[in-house]
Amino acid sequence: QVQLVESGGGLVQPGGSLRLSCAASGSIFRINVMAWYRQAPGKQRELVASIGNGGITNYADSVKGRFTISRDNAKNTVHLEMNGLKPEDTAVYYCMSNLRTHLGDLGSNYWGQGTQVTVSS
């Protein structure tokens, strides 16, 4: 079993900062990609940021320059440092990992339960 658990969400004022964390546990052979998605009420789930092998990162245009994704391979964790938060960043943030559970496994996607981020005055 693979489990991803997010933490760090909460209520913050516009312009504030939050640091989200996600820890993966279970039968993990190798993590290919870790990413953060978010879903606001009435909207589609969207990719916020991802980090792959070699530390290659990708960000949604809406968060570039404000968010930073990082990965601690030794701990099977991923973080999302969010600065300059805006009300439109309000959403449930989900951790996703594409990982292999064993050698020969091409990789499958696993999702965390989500953590609420609310940006409001």
pLDDT digits (tens, 9 = 90+) for 33-90: 999 999 999 999 999 999 998 899 999 999 999 999 999 988 899 999 999 999 999 9
- Please report, as a single letter, which amino acid is at residue 69: I
| Contact by Cβ (8 Å): 84, 66 | yes
| Contact by Cβ (8 Å): 88, 42 | no
Helices then strands, each counted (H, E), the chain? 0, 11
pLDDT digits (tens, 9 = 90+) for 44-56: 999 999 999 889 9
